[in-house]
Amino acid sequence: MSTVERLGLRVLRAFDPETAHGLALAALRARLAPLPGPVTSDRLKTRLAGLALPNPLGLAAGFDKNAVALGPLQLAGFGFLEVGAATPRPQPGNPKPRLFRLSEDRAAINRFGFNNEGAAAIGARLAARPAGLPVGLNLGANKDSADRAADFAEVLRICGPSCDFATVNVSSPNTERLRELQGPAALEALLAGVLAARAGLAHPLPVFLKIAPDLTDADLADIAAVVRASGIDGVIATNTTLARSGLRSGHHLEKGGLSGQPLFERSTRVLAKLSALLPGTPLIGVGGVGSAAQAYAKIRAGAAAVQLYTALVYEGLGLIPRLLEELDALLKADGFGSVAEAVGTGREDWE
């Protein structure tokens, strides 16, 4: 980490977390952050559900909820980006404070509640973005919606023409009863609506399902069956957790979803189990990735690509090129000529 970036992170930590997040986005838009361009090599280049990626490391949804920094983010080193979550109508989300740093645990807890400027505004920014990396949109539902399942399809109809993939997010713990949509019958109906909306697009795009890390083995088996039957393109494992074991920070009892280092093992075990249930289905591993070793572990557990977000709070954007250079070295050391060759080769370590 450079001296400038270390100083910048120290300044940001002087502010409350949500204000600091806004300042970080402003600094990014002003090009005051490391922007080396996409990091790539012959080993790092890969494909995800038909998308060509310069490397397998993506930015998870939540960092750029409203798609306001897509230009500079495409130059931060990532191989792909995900913005949102977007809902059909703008909504303010839950009352503040709603974001908490757990510095002792290298973690965060949030209870944002899908705060965003709405699908129309986000879709317009997606349409106006510069050419570059694949950019996906996390689909959400309005808190006061009479038909939350229909909201996901509506966001895709509005924004689908301007993004490269879409994620059905039924796993956020911060919208009351949203996770109930992960049940087999509800999920099957919801995905059918989303895929019908996709069929109406001029250029159909991959659709992923983002699941929670707090599912039982029976829940995972049910979800895998729905994924196979529905025809969606892949799964993102996982969202934030409601678990709180082993935390040291004074904020550990705050309500919301926990992300960062404490989530790594839980989310990776879910990923490995899902990989066994869905052989050949593209999976994205997310949850607790903060190093090349952790990204590599996700890949070997079954992920075709990985995402991160919370690690940036503690390491800054300079983490991205460092992580990817080290990941390339790990692949080389183990004799892999590509990311794809490594996918799933260490799944038994997590089962």
Fill in the DSSP letter of residue 202: S
Domains in the chain, start-ordered, CATH in brackets? 3-349 (3.20.20.70)
267 is annotated as an active-site residue: no
pLDDT of 113: 95
pLDDT of 174: 67
pLDDT of 171: 79
CB 264 within 8 A of CB 289: yes
pLDDT of 183: 80
Cα–Cα nearest to 157, from 120, 127, 109: 120
Task: Give the Cα separation of 82 and 48 in Å (integer).
Answer: 13
Q: What pTM did the predictor assign? A: 0.97
For the chain (351 residues), the mean pLDDT of every run of 10, in chain order, is 82 95 95 90 98 98 98 97 98 97 98 97 98 97 93 98 96 74 86 97 96 94 95 97 95 96 98 98 98 98 98 96 98 98 97 81
Torsion angles phi and psi, residue 200, rounded to 5: -85, -5
pLDDT of 209: 97
Choosing from 2, 171, 172, 267, which is the catalytic residue? 172
- Burial annotation 261-296 (CB, 10 A radius, 16+ → b, else e): bbbbebbbbbbbbbbebbeebbbbbbbbbbbbebbb
pLDDT of 182: 77
